[in-house]
A and B are shown apart, each in its own frame.
Chain A
Amino acid sequence: MIEEPLSDRTFEQYLAGELRVLNAHLARRRKRLSDLLAEERPFVDLHDDTAHLFDKEELARLASLLDETDRQALLLPMMIEVGGGEGEAALLCTGGVEEKAVSRVLGMDLACRGGRLLLYRRQLSALRLALKTATQYVYSLGE
């Protein structure tokens, strides 16, 4: 049985749309933890023209784990890459501060390699429970 070409075209359009929407929720510009702590309603603007609100209690908890220099260096939301090929997921590190924050939140020593901190399922679950609004997923097609 031969399928009509219309559905094939529709499929291609749909796939292109699906890829576009997967990462539409990423922040336009990430903010420093120290700046967010000073805001009345801490939020970041997203690429889909919406805002992502941070939980104040969560930010205060995260700030209590870091010193002043790290608070100024930590950019939020932290990005968790999914589908990058290695392990379950990986936290994208721009410096050592993400590594320090996540290690303290999870209570275990984790090392950042090649700009990525590998997270296994249980670690990912624990991290998301602790930092619901301070982390975001990035979907990647990988290699």
Chain B
Amino acid sequence: MPRLVKVRPTKIELIKLRRRLTLAKRIQKIVKDRLSILTMEFLHIAREIVASKQQTIDGASAGYAALALAAGYHGWIGLGKEFASSARGVAVEVGSRNVAGVRVPSFQSAQNGKEVLAYNLTDTSAYLDQAAAEWGKTLQAIIKLAELQRGLDLMGIEINRTKRIVNALEYMVIPELKATIKFLAMKFEERDREEKSRLKRVKVLLQRA
């Protein structure tokens, strides 16, 4: 049985409760709409993650295969020397975009697809260039995957939060308001009936006197 909201049993309170019920119903509708939109966006991101993961795995496989060929040509020690002198960080531009009211991160590689090879081009073979190109593409896919994965996490958190609001409105707030309104309406009807019977009793007493 729904609980009652503690209010003074007056007509003003009844009007206020009715207004509150209307507002709660409207908010319930809009929050439900939002939940459905968030779910749709969540599924979009989930599908993109599947594609992006596959791309990353394929890219890494191709990268390792190309690296193995390069290692066969140069030897691991030769490759190690080249890589030791060419080590550099990865610059990523970080921003955010808004999806249905949820701020999700946006990562973009600062190289903008134009990779600058940092090793010595005269001492190395085309095998190493191929490996570098494959790993460059894989790196882009990893950056994209990181953006999507974080977006999915944030979207999931927001869906859970919105679900809790929808459930609270549907199973707690609206039933409580309805029960209280019903209780007050019955109380006022009972008061009216008491008033009528009292007036009748007074009338009878006056007639006797």
Is the pairing of A and B real?
yes
> B-contacting residues of A (Cβ < 8 Å)?
1-5, 8, 11-12, 15, 18-19, 21-25, 41, 43, 46, 50-55, 82-83, 89, 121, 124-125, 128-129, 132-133, 136-137, 139-142
**In the complex, which residues 81-102 of chain B have their Cβ closer than 8 Å to any Cβ of chain A?**
93, 95-101
A121 to B36: give the CA distance in the assembly, Å: 10
Residues of the A chain whose Cβ atoms lie less than 8 Å from the Cβ of B95: 41, 43, 51, 53
One of B4, B40, B165 near A1 (C-beta < 8 A): B4
Any A CB within 8 A of the CB of B33: yes
Any A CB within 8 A of the CB of B20: yes
A133 to B106: give the CA distance in the assembly, Å: 11
B101 near A25: Cβ-Cβ < 8 Å: yes
Any A CB within 8 A of the CB of B3: yes
B6 near A133: Cβ-Cβ < 8 Å: no
One of A19, A51, A129, A132 near B27 (C-beta < 8 A): A19
> A-contacting residues of B (Cβ < 8 Å)?
1, 3-7, 20, 23-24, 26-27, 29-31, 33-34, 37, 40-41, 44, 93, 95-101, 103, 106, 165, 173, 176
Residues of the B chain whose Cβ atoms lie less than 8 Å from the Cβ of A133: 97
One of B5, B6, B98, B165 near A25 (C-beta < 8 A): B98
Residues of the A chain whose Cβ atoms lie less than 8 Å from the Cβ of B40: 121, 124-125, 128
A sample of 27 cross-chain residue pairs with beta-carbon separation below 8 angstroms, ordered by A number, consists of A1-B1, A1-B3, A2-B3, A2-B6, A3-B3, A3-B4, A3-B5, A4-B6, A8-B6, A25-B98, A51-B96, A52-B96, A53-B95, A53-B106, A55-B106, A82-B30, A82-B33, A89-B37, A124-B40, A128-B44, A129-B44, A132-B97, A132-B99, A137-B100, A139-B30, A139-B33, A140-B30
Residues of the B chain whose Cβ atoms lie less than 8 Å from the Cβ of A53: 95-97, 106
One of B98, B106, B165 near A136 (C-beta < 8 A): B98
Residues of the B chain whose Cβ atoms lie less than 8 Å from the Cβ of A124: 40
B96 near A83: Cβ-Cβ < 8 Å: no
One of A43, A50, A51, A137 near B37 (C-beta < 8 A): A137
Residues of the A chain whose Cβ atoms lie less than 8 Å from the Cβ of B30: 22, 82-83, 139-141
A41 near B34: Cβ-Cβ < 8 Å: no
Residues of the A chain whose Cβ atoms lie less than 8 Å from the Cβ of B176: 3
A23 to B30: give the CA distance in the assembly, Å: 12
Nearest CB of chain B from residue A130's CB, rounded to whole Å: 11
Interface core residue of A19, A22, A50, A53 (most chain B CB under 10 Å):
A53
B31 near A18: Cβ-Cβ < 8 Å: yes
Residues of the B chain whose Cβ atoms lie less than 8 Å from the Cβ of A51: 95-96
Residues of the A chain whose Cβ atoms lie less than 8 Å from the Cβ of B26: 141-142
Residues of the B chain whose Cβ atoms lie less than 8 Å from the Cβ of A24: 101
A15-B24, A133-B97 known; A22+B6 contact, CB < 8 A: no
